[in-house]
Amino acid sequence: MSKISDYIKVGLLALLVTSCSFQNSEDKALYLNSEMAVEERVENLLQQMTLEEKVAQMCQFVGLEHMKQAEKNLSKEDMEKSDAQGFYPDLHSTDVEKMVEQGLIGSFLHVTDVKEANYLQSLAQKSRLKIPLLIGIDAIHGTALVQGATVYPTPIGLASTWDTTLVKKLSVETAKEMRATGAAWTFTPNLDVARDARWGRVGETFGEDPLLVSDMGVAMIEGLQNTDSDAYFNVIACAKHLIAGSESVNGLNGAPTDLSERTIREIYLPPYKAAVDAGVFSLMTAHNELNGVPCHADKWMMTDVMREELGFEGFIVSDWMDIERLATRHFVAEDQTEACYQTIDAGMDMHMHGPEFLQPVIDLVNEGRLTEERIDESVRRLLEAKFRLGLFENPMVDETVTETILFNAEHQATALEAAQKSIVLLKNEDELLPLNISKKLNVFITGPNANNESVLGDWSAQQASDKVSTILDGLHEIGTSCNYDYLDVGHNPRHVTKAHIKQANKRASKADLAIVVVGENSFRWEWDQKTCGENSGRSDIGLAGLQQDLVEAVYYSGTPTIVVLVNGRPLATEWIADNVPVIIEAWEPGSMGGKALAQILFGEVNPSAKLTISIPRSSGHLLSVYNHKPTHYFHKYVTSKSTPLYEFGYGLGYSDFNYQNLQLSKQSIGKKEKLLLKVEVTNIGKYDGDEVVQLYLNDKICSVTRPVKELKAYRRISLKAGETKQVSFEITPDMLVFLDKQLKPTIEEGVFKAMVGGSSRDKDLLSIPFTYVE
């Protein structure tokens, strides 16, 4: 008997069983009454569900169009290795449609068209209990996988704004664009703390600092979920990936992670605690194993830590096909049934994705290995999500409003502001920037990222060209007095040729100014070609292909040169930093990225972004984090400098800021007290601008080693040229807490140092000591 007929049989059986058990039709329909409390609706519905219908709620499938596309592109073997495309060799898309009608699927992902979302929901409405589908999508920086959506900068750029209000605002907008296209659940924020630039996914993280990752994650969750209301969600956010896949043994996605519990608790866990405290309603486990246990079977992390210790109340979803991989990759389970047992026993609530879950789990319950109560726990959480999203009342989307919401003027303005605040000026020698906007310059521009969609970053579909401002588009729009000589070297960093390089040198020498736009390529639509993004780990974090030669050829033409980097991970560009007068780290600035960059070049916008990840000098300098331990640089490398190329918190503007008069309200702090720290910041340049004022603390002597500094607070302020503002921070005892030798949170009496300034570099910080006395 084929698998599909098994499913259909299961569905018919479900119908028979339940139609006998609930007699009164009014009672049956109670869960459809929106006046009733969510808990009552959940219980009422749960009582009417068969085991099969319950387990079906835990099953997710890829969308029909995605399936059809993947069927064409992939062999069965390729699919087993893929994290981005999926189909079901034994199931036709029409079989999947039937399963929806029978209530045998609870969720979909990768549905990128509102018509398909509505169609699937209409099928679900034909099912016995009319339970709507939960449609999820990777709306990581806008719902960018959808054609026509607003694409905001990727999270590494968003974090570089240090502006949580802005991140919350664009998350509200993302939620609106999602709902307008039928999705109600996004697999974001990515709370992986990123300390290894070889990992391809750094661009979808907020960087290396646990506090900043926490704050950015919370801002996103609040904006997405609408945590201002207890009752309803805009959409559901998903904190991922549990845990520490960003520090796998060799920087490859999904490779094992081996880290001490101290590092897990000090670095990786705080953002999850913050997310749970903010009410995040879903979590996703990670591809990797942690200290010998695959994260999908890690009961300690899913149940003991997340649920019992941190109080997580939402649901946990697996990552893409990772339950299967307990058997096929990690070899901790003999077969899929055992894999399902291990993951559910550990705390899993939903399977991403496909048919290999429903029957094994039903079998496990029938055999008595899993209890139906355990299944009920998961189903309660999943139904609660659907009720709180209002999906029972409004499963369908009004397709006539979709167009008015996607990429509307308001969202474009936010995307532009985010791009302006996310682009980091790393070097500006001889004040080459800002360019005089009214001067007629002959500008030579080249590089693989000069005129392509690399600005969109990973987790984006290829968007229509009128919805993307490339770097060249931006220059044409803003720098209208200039003439541009554009040398097209193709859009792929690996395909720059020697002939391009020769041409570039020649043409650059005739110009007044040269701009070279290099970096990386995260194009999902050219999966095998990309150098960055999901599954694109690199052993060398220099410029790929012949890009370095291209930069050198332009530089040696003698024409003043600007290097713009468009990339999703820090790139080791020491030669460029030593030689080229201007370097801009644009990250992946989104739909409006080119315009924002040009506004910065021509001085319409004063750059204000600061790095949230240190930029290493080479691949050997990984883990050059700012919050390192005191002995980190005790001995130095013998053939190169030991410190990072650019430090965490660093970034230039067109004005300098002077810090003075650092004061504390008292010299010591007690258990229930606060200290007020004040500092004066003056804009000593000629341009109005924003500064990100950063507060770091250091514990001088402690029973365990402590970082040389840890970010504890920050504030983005605007100062007119010549203006001074006093900035104050509260220092509270919880900022002094650390994990003792038994990993218990504690504070020790003694001396601490507060440091305040415009970056984490010692030379940019003023410092003042204080003591903690119980």
Nearest distance, CB of residue 145 and ligand BGC, angstroms: 9
Q: Which two tokens stand for residue 573?
A: 């560009």
Q: Which is nearer to ligand BGC, 136 or 560 (CB)?
A: 136
Residues that bind ligand BGC (CB under 6 A): 83, 109, 138, 187, 240, 319-320
Q: Which is nearer to ligand BGC, 240 or 273 (CB)?
A: 240
Q: Which is nearer to ligand BGC, 321 or 365 (CB)?
A: 321
Which residue do the tokens 């869960």 mark? 31
Q: Which is nearer to ligand BGC, 173 or 204 (CB)?
A: 204
- Stated as kind and residue range, the H or E segment containing 730 is strand 724-731
Nearest distance, CB of residue 100 and ligand BGC, angstroms: 20
How many CA atoms within 13 Å lie on the side-chain side of 654? 20
Q: Which is nearer to ligand BGC, 319 or 552 (CB)?
A: 319
Cross-strand partners of 108: 61, 135
Q: Which is nearer to ligand BGC, 330 or 500 (CB)?
A: 330
- Stated as kind and residue range, the H or E segment containing 46 is helix 38-48
Nearest distance, CB of residue 138 and ligand BGC, angstroms: 5
Cα 490 to the chain's mean position, in Å?
A: 28
Q: Which is nearer to ligand BGC, 137 or 765 (CB)?
A: 137
321: left (phi over 0), alpha (psi -120 to 50) or beta: left
Q: Which is nearer to ligand BGC, 83 or 574 (CB)?
A: 83
Are 572 and 398 a contacting pair, CB within 8 Å? no
- Stated as kind and residue range, the H or E segment containing 405 is helix 399-405
Nearest distance, CB of residue 83 and ligand BGC, angstroms: 3
Nearest distance, CB of residue 458 and ligand BGC, angstroms: 10
Nearest distance, CB of residue 70 and ligand BGC, angstroms: 12
For residue 384, give the 3-state DSSP assignment: helix
Q: Which is nearer to ligand BGC, 524 or 706 (CB)?
A: 524
Cα–Cα distance measured from residue 213 to residue 272, given in angstroms and rounded to the nearest whole number: 10
Are 10 and 59 a contacting pair, CB within 8 Å? no
Q: End-to-end alpha-carbon separation of the chain, Å?
A: 72
Q: Which is nearer to ligand BGC, 109 or 489 (CB)?
A: 109
Nearest distance, CB of residue 109 and ligand BGC, angstroms: 6
How many CA atoms within 13 Å lie on the side-chain side of 87? 22
CA distances from 529 to 222, 487, 495, 500 (A): 36, 21, 10, 19
Q: Which residues contact 21 (CB under 8 A, 6 or more apart)?
A: 48
Nearest distance, CB of residue 649 and ligand BGC, angstroms: 27
Q: Which is nearer to ligand BGC, 81 or 666 (CB)?
A: 81
Q: Which is nearer to ligand BGC, 204 or 585 (CB)?
A: 204
Q: Which is nearer to ligand BGC, 222 or 319 (CB)?
A: 319
Nearest distance, CB of residue 120 and ligand BGC, angstroms: 17
Are 149 and 141 a contacting pair, CB within 8 Å? no
Q: How many CB atoms lie within 10 A of CB 311?
A: 10
- Stated as kind and residue range, the H or E segment containing 762 is none
Q: Which is nearer to ligand BGC, 319 or 349 (CB)?
A: 319
Q: Which two tokens stand for residue 242?
A: 């549990």
Are 627 and 212 a contacting pair, CB within 8 Å? no
Q: Which two tokens stand for residue 246?
A: 């960003």
Q: Which is nearer to ligand BGC, 325 or 712 (CB)?
A: 325
Cα–Cα distance measured from residue 102 to residue 32, given in angstroms and rounded to the nearest whole number: 18
Cα–Cα distance measured from residue 223 to residue 216, given in angstroms and rounded to the nearest whole number: 11
Q: Which residues contact 193 (CB under 8 A, 6 or more apart)?
A: 205, 207, 208, 209, 210, 213, 244, 246, 247, 267, 268, 271
Cα–Cα distance measured from residue 707 to residue 700, given in angstroms and rounded to the nearest whole number: 10
Nearest distance, CB of residue 149 and ligand BGC, angstroms: 16
Cα–Cα distance measured from residue 4 to residue 58, given in angstroms and rounded to the nearest whole number: 18
Of 148, 190, 160, 155, which is closest to residue 170 (Cα–Cα)?
155
Q: Which two tokens stand for residue 595?
A: 């315009």
Are 539 and 507 a contacting pair, CB within 8 Å? no
CA distances from 492 to 459, 468, 488, 554, 597 (A): 18, 18, 11, 18, 20
Nearest distance, CB of residue 144 and ligand BGC, angstroms: 12
Backbone angles phi, psi at 33, to 5 degrees: -85, 110
Q: Which is nearer to ligand BGC, 187 or 341 (CB)?
A: 187
- Stated as kind and residue range, the H or E segment containing 337 is helix 336-346
Of 4, 213, 229, which is closest to residue 94 (Cα–Cα)?
4
Cross-strand partners of 81: none
Are 55 and 340 a contacting pair, CB within 8 Å? no
Nearest distance, CB of residue 217 and ligand BGC, angstroms: 14
CA distances from 710 to 622, 753, 755 (A): 19, 11, 10
Q: Which is nearer to ligand BGC, 110 or 507 (CB)?
A: 110
Q: Which two tokens stand for residue 551?
A: 């930069």
Nearest distance, CB of residue 522 and ligand BGC, angstroms: 14
Q: Which is nearer to ligand BGC, 14 or 109 (CB)?
A: 109
Nearest distance, CB of residue 158 and ligand BGC, angstroms: 17
According to DSSP, the β-strands at 107-109 and 59-62 are parallel
